[in-house]
Amino acid sequence: MKTLVIYYSFTGNNSKLAQKIAMSINADIKEIKEKKNRTILTILLDVLFNRIPTIKDFDIQFELYENLIFVAPVWFGKIATPLRALFKELNVKIEVYSFVSISAGTNGEKNSNLEKELMQRTGLMPKAVINPLISEILTANPKPSRKQLDAYRLSDTDAHDLVKRVLP
């Protein structure tokens, strides 16, 4: 089955994970790039006002792929907003897709609304939603602070181990 990995990353973690996933399963890979500079403030405004940021031309022949894997961070409980423009277009173009994210968790807990958001934005049930948390990678004792979770950058070794967990 031909697979395309589509990813967006703000600080690099999900980019690294997406590339390892694509390499492991020999999938094609494509990055979502935004037209405007991303800041913490625009993350907040996108989420608060349900905005759909503009992305650079995304020239993909979706009919070539039977399976899509989206990889992106979670922001304030929502899937990173640059994916929204693409999700909007997708419902006529795809049948099988999954969502993967390495993220910090919402107050240390799993992000519980990802599947629901995907359903709302694509009109399609995802095959899988996989959201390993950074706290599961860092040592549990002492419990990592919010600052440590935000500052964490995925190492090659951790990315390698994560891929084994993420892929069936």
Ligand X SMILES: Cc1cc2nc3c(=O)[nH]c(=O)nc-3n(C[C@H](O)[C@H](O)[C@H](O)COP(=O)(O)O)c2cc1C
Beta carbons of 158 and 137 less than 8 angstroms apart: yes
Beta carbons of 74 and 111 less than 8 angstroms apart: yes
Q: In angstroms, rounded to a whole number, what is the distance separating the alpha carbons of residues 114 and 91?
A: 17
State in angstroms the smallest separation of the CB of 154 from ligand X. 7
Of positions 21, 22, 74, 90, contacts ligand X by CB under 6 A: 74
User: With binding defined as CB under 6 A, does residue 75 bind ligand X?
Assistant: yes
Q: In angstroms, rounded to a whole number, what is the distance separating the alpha carbons of residues 6 and 139?
A: 30
Residues 8-67 that bind ligand X (CB under 6 A): 9-15, 40, 43
User: With binding defined as CB under 6 A, does residue 100 bind ligand X?
Assistant: no
Which neighbouring-strand residues pair with 5? 29, 69
User: With binding defined as CB under 6 A, does residue 73 bind ligand X?
Assistant: yes
User: With binding defined as CB under 6 A, does residue 91 bind ligand X?
Assistant: no
State in angstroms the smallest separation of the CB of 123 from ligand X. 24
